Chain A
Amino acid sequence: MPDIGGSDLFVLAFGDILHYFNPYTATLFLLALLFTGLVIASRPERQLDIAFGGDAYYAKMTTVSEMRFRRFMAIACGLASMGAMASGDIFNFTLFVSLVGITNVGIVSAVRIRHVLNAAYEYGIVAMVATLPLFGGAALILGTTGTLSIQALAAGGFAVPLVGKALLALGVIGEGMAPFYAAKAEMFRAPGAPYVIMCSLSSLLIFLRVVEIVITI
């Protein structure tokens, strides 16, 4: 098995389905855990905006009902991110990644601002379309090798198709906003800092994890 993220620190086996931590995935998991804790502990900021053409400014308020929904989605997103970091099975990983995509849309679609809703709608379409290469890549790997266990694939003896890895990476890129969908600044400047940050963090984490998976298998 190529040494990518360091030696295994912990392995939990359920048959041939593994959950494991190495220094790399443990670091990512801890960050997801830390920011999930922050989502629970933080209240949204009162974002100030400038009214162009004058000296006036106005504050954007996040209502309690909106805050509750977005906090729930952000916590779900954090849990899905942690699952994606700990999973040693490609199918479980793809499920957690698609859950990250859904919760990311949920976090921003609760904001009652037109440009944010438009961006969330567009991102939702991208995330839905991305499930095809995401699960397609996993299916291709399973069809070719007969297993989806990352450690079994990494141990060698399997010819993992390059197109399968590419589809998996493409799916993750589509599901997460960062790094490529990050150009849609409308979503990243929405009020509700703890929740918006969870969007960018989770999509970055799944991207970082898929890099490790693609190099390892």
Chain B
Amino acid sequence: MIEYLVFAAVFGLLLLGIHRKVIARIQIRPGPPIWQEILHALKFSFKSTWVPKTASSALFVAVVLVGIGIWSAALFVVLAGESILILFAIYMLHKIVEHGYGLSSGSPYGKFGGVRSVISAASEIPLFVTIAAIYLFTGSLILRDITAYQDIHGPLLLIAPPVALAMYIVILSKMPYGPFSIVESKELVSGYKTEHFGAWRAGLAVTDGLKTFVLLYAFVAIFIGAVPFWAALIIMTAVLISLSFVCAVTPMLSPFDSVTVQGIITGLMLIYAGCLWWVMS
């Protein structure tokens, strides 16, 4: 199983490198090489590592391990075709981990990054709408059943495009350098990551790699269905490049605007799910 984890983390970091490269080229900059994020993770692994004097030591270290743990669990949930409700839960619990990264250090920059993560909790609700709508169509939340449904009826991307759009926005809200990346904006240095350096930062990079891989792979499995693994990787890359375009041409919103826009999107998605339930029941 360890080979899956290593592959997912490395490929996820490669995707984040492609993300940076695409954004840079759209903005007429050369940008870093696409393997830059992998190099970052390796570099931080060998940097000197300690815990800040002001930090809550046990929590400061534990949240890094929890972050890696929950996204490793999410990877196996997706690969095993288990309940996407678990994926939803892990996605929401990532907020708690971000909050933990920020608050445990005692740094004001980390703290505000963590607080911004919690106050933008509305960005998770479209994922709930996605799950509710998928249940209305397929009658199950087990990924195997959803894939089997698509084998018969065709991809959910064509059956329910707004549901796919809702999950696309959810993934967008987790992408770095995007319109909703208020947790890592530059006025907070590196946001909730500010005080985690050395091996801890390498751990955060692994978490980011796993998270990116899992979310994009889940998007392909849920909305396109069973495809060969190599095809899934190509589609994931294509989805990521489309996200990079959105991030490149959209300025980062202020925290207030970010929460407002996410709230409006959430409201629209809830209305859509309500209409869907009304029509299908």
Chain A interface (Cβ < 8 Å from any Cβ of B): 2-6, 23-24, 27-28, 31, 34-35, 38, 41-50, 57, 59, 178-180, 182-183, 185, 188-189, 193-194, 196-197, 200-201, 204, 207-208, 211-212, 215
Q: Within 8 Å CB of B141, what residues of A? A: 3-5, 215
Please, which residues of chain A bring their CB within 8 A of the CB of B83? 3-6, 23-24
Distance of A204 Cα from B142 Cα, bound (Å): 22
Interface pair B108/A45, CB less than 8 Å apart:
no
Confirm or deny: B115 has a beta carbon within 8 angstroms of a beta carbon on chain A: yes
Q: Which of B52-110 contact A (CB under 8 A)?
A: 53-60, 62, 66, 70, 73, 77, 82-83, 85-86, 88-90, 92-93, 95-96, 99-100, 103-108
B56: nearest chain-A partner, CB-CB: A45
Q: Mask for B99-140, Cβ within 8 A of A = 1, else 0?
A: 110011111100110110011011011001000100100011
- A31 with B93: in contact, given A24-B83, A193-B56, A200-B99 (CB under 8 Å)? yes
Q: Is B259 an interface residue (CB 8 A)?
A: yes
Q: Are B93 and A201 in contact (CB under 8 A)?
A: yes
- List of A residues within 8 angstroms of B139 by Cβ: 2
* B106 touching A24, Cβ below 8 Å: no
Q: List 12 A-B contacts (CB under 8 A).
A: A3-B142, A45-B59, A45-B106, A47-B106, A185-B118, A188-B99, A188-B118, A193-B59, A196-B99, A196-B103, A197-B59, A215-B135
Q: DSSP class of B's interface residues: helix, strand, loop or mixed?
A: helix
Decide if B95 touches A188 in the complex (CB within 8 Å). no
| B103 touching A193, Cβ below 8 Å | yes
Closest beta carbon of chain B to A145's beta carbon, Å: 19
Min Cβ gap A18→B in Å is 19
Q: Is the CB of B54 within 8 A of A46?
A: yes
Kindly list 17 other residue pairs between chains A and B, CB separation below 8 angstroms, not including A193-B59, A196-B103.
A5-B86, A5-B141, A6-B86, A27-B89, A27-B90, A42-B56, A59-B106, A179-B92, A180-B121, A183-B119, A185-B115, A188-B115, A188-B119, A194-B56, A208-B89, A208-B92, A215-B135
- Among candidates A3, A45, A196, residue contacting B145 with C-beta atoms closer than 8 Å: A3
Q: How far is the CA of A183 from the CA of B255 in the complex (A)?
A: 11
- Taking A3-B145, A6-B82 as contacts, is the C-beta distance between A45 and B66 under 8 angstroms? no
**Nearest Cβ on chain B to A161's Cβ, whole angstroms:** 14
User: Which of A4, A24, A50, A183 interacts with B259 by CB under 8 Å?
Assistant: A183
Using CB atoms, name the residue of chain B closest to A186: B115
Residue with the greatest number of chain B CB neighbours at <10 A, chosen from A57, A178, A189, A215: A189
- A178 touches which one: B54, B56, B111, B121 (CB < 8 A)? B121
Given contacts A2-B140, A24-B86, A182-B118, contact A193 B100 (CB under 8 A): yes
With a cutoff of 8 Å between Cβ atoms, the chain B residues found around residue A183 in the complex are 119, 259
What is the CA–CA distance of A194 and B55 in the complex, to the nearest angstrom?
11
Collect the chain A residues with CB atoms within 8 Å of residue B88's CB.
208, 211
Residues in B neighbouring A28, C-beta threshold 8 A: 89
Determine the chain B residues whose CB is within 8 A of the CB of A24 once the complex forms. Answer: 83, 85-86, 89
Please give, as numbers and ranges, the residues of chain B lying within 8 Å of A3 by CB-CB distance. Answer: 83, 140-142, 145
Give the chain A neighbours of B118 by CB distance below 8 A.
178, 182, 185, 188, 200
Query: In the complex, are the beta carbons of A27 and B142 less than 8 A apart?
Result: no
What CA separation (Å) do A133 and B139 show in the bound complex?
Answer: 28
Cross-interface CB contact of A189 among B60, B112, B121, cutoff 8 Å: B112
- Chain B contacts of A31 at CB under 8 A? 70, 93
Choose one: A27, A38, A180, A212; the contact of B59 (CB below 8 Å). A38
- B122 and A179 contacting across the interface, CB-CB below 8 Å: yes
How many angstroms from the CA of A198 to the CA of B56 in the assembled complex?
A: 14
Give Cα A189 to B108, complex, Å.
9
How far is B118's CA from A28's CA once the two chains are assembled, in angstroms? 19
- In the bound complex, residues from chain A placing their C-beta under 8 Å from that of B86 are 5-6, 23-24, 27
Once the chains are docked, how many angstroms separate the CA of A45 from the CA of B59?
9
Shortest beta-carbon distance from B276 to chain A in Å: 14
Most buried by B among A31, A179, A211: A179
Q: Which of B55, B85, B121 contacts A179 (CB 8 A)?
A: B121
Q: With A and B bound together, what is the CA distance between A197 and B82 in angstroms?
A: 28
- B93 lies within 8 A of A204 (CB): yes
Question: B88 CB to closest chain A CB, in angstroms?
Answer: 8
CA–CA, A23 and B54, complex, Å: 37
Question: How far is B83's CA from A2's CA once the two chains are assembled, in angstroms?
Answer: 12
**Of B57, B70, B96, most A-chain CB atoms within 10 Å:** B96
